[in-house]
Structure 1
């Protein structure tokens, strides 16, 4: 999608939504998603914890199924509590991306 295509949608946002969009764009520019990365050819290019093959969507889906953070950290010993916090923040910032990944992988 180009900026020209996106412009009418951005202008139609409420002031609060515009502020949220600005914050999201600023975060993506400043790389605040520490240890979250997308690597072509790794897990289908999905957002993963850096240097792992653990997608953010897997962690979020596990959380939704009732698996607590302590259990996730036990099940994935290479993860830290900070990794989980970054995964939750990323999932909150990109909910549509995460939902699409969950649905896509439920079909497989």
Structure 2
């Protein structure tokens, strides 16, 4: 029996209340979308964030488009490392339309 089959077996034996609690927990877990880029329901609207931070990738890209350099971003966000920025920019390159839309949505909402 593989891990998925085992998990299904365990979950099927839970009470309805425990199953609901487990489902809530499961849907609140972070998903690694790309190396070092995570989406967590309820955190920053589920937008992709760098590492385990609450710094959305779209924010870093928006600031980069406004002329900030890597050194500026690292100074503004001291929790980030150079590798974090590289991962964020790689995610932007691979998901340009998604990031463009997130920037546009947030500019429209005045949240930037």
TM-score of the pair, normalised by structure 1: 0.69
Q: CA deviation at 1:92?
A: 0.5
Q: CA deviation at 1:32?
A: 8.2
Q: CA deviation at 1:33?
A: 2.4
Q: Which residue of 2 aligns with 1:27?
A: none
The CA RMSD over aligned residues, in Å, is 1.3
Question: Which consecutive aligned stretches of 4+ in structure 1 deviate over 6 angstroms post-superposition?
Answer: none
Post-superposition CA distance 1:34-93 (Å, at most 9, x none): 210111000000000121110000000100000010010011000000000000000000
Unaligned 5+ runs, structure 1: 1-30
Between structure 1 and structure 2, the one with the greater Rg is: 2
- Matched ranges for 1:53-64 at <5 A: 53-64=54-65
CA distance in 2 between partners of 1:38 and 1:32 (Å): 7
For these two proteins, the number of residue pairs brought into alignment is 78
Of residues 32-41 and 69-78 in structure 1, the stretch that sits farther from structure 2 once superposed is 32-41
TM-score of the pair, normalised by structure 2: 0.67
Structure 1 residue 42 and structure 2 residue 19: aligned? no
